[in-house]
Chain A
Amino acid sequence: MSTMTAAPQLTLRSASGTQEDLRELFLSWQHDRDARARDALVRRFMPLARSLARRYGRSSEPFEDLLQVASLGLLKALDRYDADRGHSFASFAVPTILGEMRRYFRDSGWAIHVPRGAQERALKVRDAQERLANERGRAPTVNQLAEYLEFDTEDVVDALQAIQAYETLSLDAPRPGVDGDVISYGDSVGSDDERYELVELDVTLTSVLRHIPPRERLILRMRFVDDLTQTEIAERVGISQMQVSRLLRRSLEQLRTLTQAAS
């Protein structure tokens, strides 16, 4: 049984060179600033930068952008590494490369905003969901969406969750119409008022439910009283199923808060 608190030392290996070759390359770069030695080292350790970019970035940003940042980190690590001090290069380089990627995320506003990559993916998932549902007449599974968009299933799962939160998916966000025209959610909702009369006469409508906006109330009734699926509601109201999902979760939460306040 052992307890470790210090980072373990990694040992270097490579197909084209032994430990000794590597040490020589490091020495000629450090002592003689031999550019060819540095190029050889960059080539040798590029898989390290690539692997870290994949692990840390996943698919949050375009991979090529992130790989470039990781490569910059690799160059910095090569500049700062002192082969005479006996640390292995890989264990020295990991924090340097990760630090470079963190800095990049910080500079691109990640600490304040939802990462752009994640937002774009959520919108793509929303649109693909609608397209596949229209084409096939039923809501797709996560695997079908992942396959269609060439995303990881995890990205799709994240998007399904994220869609609930993004203000970019508000009613005003433009979305493609079925025939390719760009329409806004506001337009499509307006026309429904004619098809579904939102009368206030319903006797089951209690004071709490009255606080919910008419469209949300309609959707709640369609789901929980008329037992329509979200896809069926989406078709009738003219919004996406994901939008139905978001409105249902929000208005149920509102109802809970209102009911709690009332009692």
Chain B
Amino acid sequence: MSDPVDRSRSMAEIPNLCLTLQNRPENVLVVRQALTGVADSLALNAIETNDLNTAVTEACNNVVLHAYGGEEGPLEVDIYALANAIAVVVRDDGEGMEPLPDEDGAADSEITSGLGLPVMHALASNVEIKGRAGGGTEVRMEFEAPNASVLELRDGKQRDSSIYQEGQPTGTVALMLAPNALVRSVLPRVLSALAARAYFSTDRISDVQIVADVLAAKSVDSISGSHLEVGVTVAPRNLALRLGPLHVGKGESLLSAAADGLAPVIERLTDERHRIASTDGSTETLELRLIERQH
């Protein structure tokens, strides 16, 4: 048994990315798209990206397959940029990890079960696993990333997505992102993965990417907090986005953001747009809906 995890350090860390999703197999794809976006923004090469993706996939698959005993529950993934590394935390509220094989097992195929942890240990530079007070498991993996400090945040909020908490339908994917460089590389990827799930055509998925580009570019001086928070609800041929917290009035300027000489880009590409003031009136949230238009 090794020393307890140094909580004081991780308490001070500000996450660059927090994802909250249901522990469904198809959501692992969303996590992988987010990771690839992170890898891109840190200029990791294909091998480093593959190591990161493979190890985190193992941790997520464990939550999908084993954490909730066949039921649904939340899967949380947080990413922190450290000085020369990134830390990825995969968390659940469930019952535990993939069972280690028993002594008297019988099938050859079971040689390949229980590989998740050894794979994580082989690919991450450091792995810590602990039970959480009140149930659940947290796996923290670190990966070397020489450029990681470009994303390091000095201050900002901890995981607490107001977007997710506001009574969103089950299945909503919640995302918190900072700084802007990360928003630019992660948001288009995550939204295209979700648009693909909503049975969007490649044509419309590209529209979603363009919307994500505009939101990423314009959010830099629109958000009132440290992180851009995005909630995405997926239904067949229908993608609903909720973004915030924005400075009052910035929702409008985001919507009317026009490339010079062109019609407002977001207005052209989305089917519904609403601005919603927070209850205390200090911030606002933007709601956008994209519908697959072709039949």
Task: State the A residues within 8 Å of B (CB).
Answer: 1-8, 10-16, 19, 44-45, 47-48, 50-52, 55-56, 60, 90-91, 94-95, 98-99, 102, 105-106, 110-115, 118, 129, 138-143, 145, 153-154, 156-158, 160-161, 164, 202, 204-206, 208-209, 220-221, 223-225, 227, 229-231, 241-242, 244-245, 248-249, 252-253, 255-256, 259
Contact = CB atoms under 8 A, between A and B. Distances in A.
A10 B29 contact: no
B254 to A, nearest CB: 13
Contacts of A112: 45
Contact of A91 (B104, B118, B193, B209): B118
Contact of A224 (B111, B213, B262): B262
A228 to B, nearest CB: 11
A164 B122 CA distance: 32
A61 to B, nearest CB: 11
A10 B46 contact: no
B101 interface: yes
Contact of A10 (B58, B114, B207, B260): B114
A139 B51 CA distance: 34
**Chain B residues touching A, majority SS:** helix
A45 B110 CA distance: 11
A220 B259 contact: yes
B109 interface: yes
A256 to B, nearest CB: 5
Contacts of B133: 1
B213 A14 contact: no
Nearest to A156: B196
17 contacts: A4-B129, A10-B118, A13-B105, A14-B108, A15-B107, A55-B119, A99-B122, A140-B202, A141-B196, A153-B196, A156-B196, A161-B192, A208-B260, A221-B262, A242-B206, A248-B210, A256-B217
A47 to B, nearest CB: 5
A211 B176 CA distance: 35
B189 interface: yes
Contact of A255 (B123, B128, B259): B259
**Chain A residues touching B, majority SS:** helix
A110 B122 contact: no
B57 interface: yes
Contact of A241 (B32, B47, B121, B203): B203
Interface string B218-259: 000000000000000000000000000000000000000001
B294 A229 contact: yes
B118 A95 contact: yes
Contacts of A51: 112, 115
B47 A7 contact: no
Contact of B201 (A5, A141, A204): A141
A139 to B, nearest CB: 4
A204 B192 contact: no
Contact of A229 (B189, B203, B217, B261): B203
Interface residues of B, number: 74
Contacts of A249: 206, 209-210, 213
B260 A47 contact: no
Contacts of B2: 3-6
B166 interface: no
B203 A90 contact: no
Contacts of B105: 11, 13
B15 interface: no
B206 A230 contact: yes
Contacts of A10: 100-101, 114-115, 118
A202 B260 CA distance: 13
Contact of A48 (B112, B130, B209): B112
Nearest to A50: B112
A2 to B, nearest CB: 6
Contacts of A252: 210, 213-214, 259, 265
Contacts of A142: 196, 200, 202, 205
Contacts of B188: 161
B123 A105 contact: no
B83 interface: no
A139 B294 contact: yes
A10 B99 CA distance: 11
Contact of A143 (B4, B101, B199): B199
B5 A3 contact: yes
Contacts of A255: 259-260
B263 interface: yes
A145 B112 CA distance: 31
Contacts of B207: 230
Given A105-B47, A139-B294, A241-B202, 19 more contacts: A3-B130, A4-B2, A14-B108, A52-B119, A56-B50, A90-B114, A139-B202, A140-B202, A141-B201, A157-B29, A161-B209, A164-B209, A224-B259, A231-B203, A231-B294, A249-B213, A252-B213, A255-B259, A259-B260
A139 B200 CA distance: 9
A145 B201 CA distance: 10
